[in-house]
Amino acid sequence: MYLEYFPTEVRQHGWIEVICGSMFSGKTEELIRRLKRAEFANQKIILFKPTIDNRYAESAVVSHKGTALEAIVLQKPEDVFQRIKGERIVAFDEAQFFDNSLIKVCNDLANRGIRVILAGLDMDYLGTPFGPMPELMCIAEYVTKVHAICLSCGNLAYVSNRLVENKEQVLVGAVEKYQPLCRTCYNKVAK
């Protein structure tokens, strides 16, 4: 019935996509790839990152490989609603660093017909679920788990092993603080 009155309009259906895995697995690279593909198709996108992630750039999401895309820094997931202006795709990098309100925000966006894409660590350095990621994976229509290569044996990595002494769950860093390890190699060093 809707299309009878507006035959040239296309109804937009929203959904949630999650890209997860350990550090150095290509999560951000995949997120940027999807966004650049959408931009090429003239779809309006907007990308957000948490305030805590200032490793490579203040106002861009940057992969470990150096691929970058402009981003807006967010303190709280709810702030998204003041920033979006008709974008068809809303994306979040480092989603594990946001609080659990991100879950409701993503559901609300998808229910409004927006494609939501998130990238983040599914587990912390101890191998336990990280932040809102487990629930986001449950409510997502699409989940892509990417893998790094274990630096010890060459198998698929399971976890981001922390190389420095620090018991806090959140410790932002890169190769100077973490290395990807498979389950077997991680269990050897965790003992």
- For residue 62, the model assigns a pLDDT of 76
- For residue 177, the model assigns a pLDDT of 78
Query: CA-CA distance, 159 to 178, in Å (whole number)?
Result: 10
- For residue 1, the model assigns a pLDDT of 37
- For residue 5, the model assigns a pLDDT of 44
Q: What is the CATH number of domain 12-147?
A: 3.40.50.300
- Say whether 94 is catalytic: yes
Query: CA-CA distance, 99 to 170, in Å (whole number)?
Result: 12
- For residue 11, the model assigns a pLDDT of 58
- For residue 66, the model assigns a pLDDT of 74
**Which among 94, 135, 141, 176 is annotated as catalytic?**
94
List the chain domain ranges.
Answer: 12-147
- For residue 173, the model assigns a pLDDT of 58
What is the torsional sign of CA 185, 186, 190, 191? Answer: negative
- For residue 27, the model assigns a pLDDT of 94
- For residue 4, the model assigns a pLDDT of 45
CA atoms within 13 A on the CB side of 160: 28
- For residue 3, the model assigns a pLDDT of 41
Query: Which portions of the chain are predicted below pLDDT 70?
Result: 1-11, 55-57, 164, 170-176
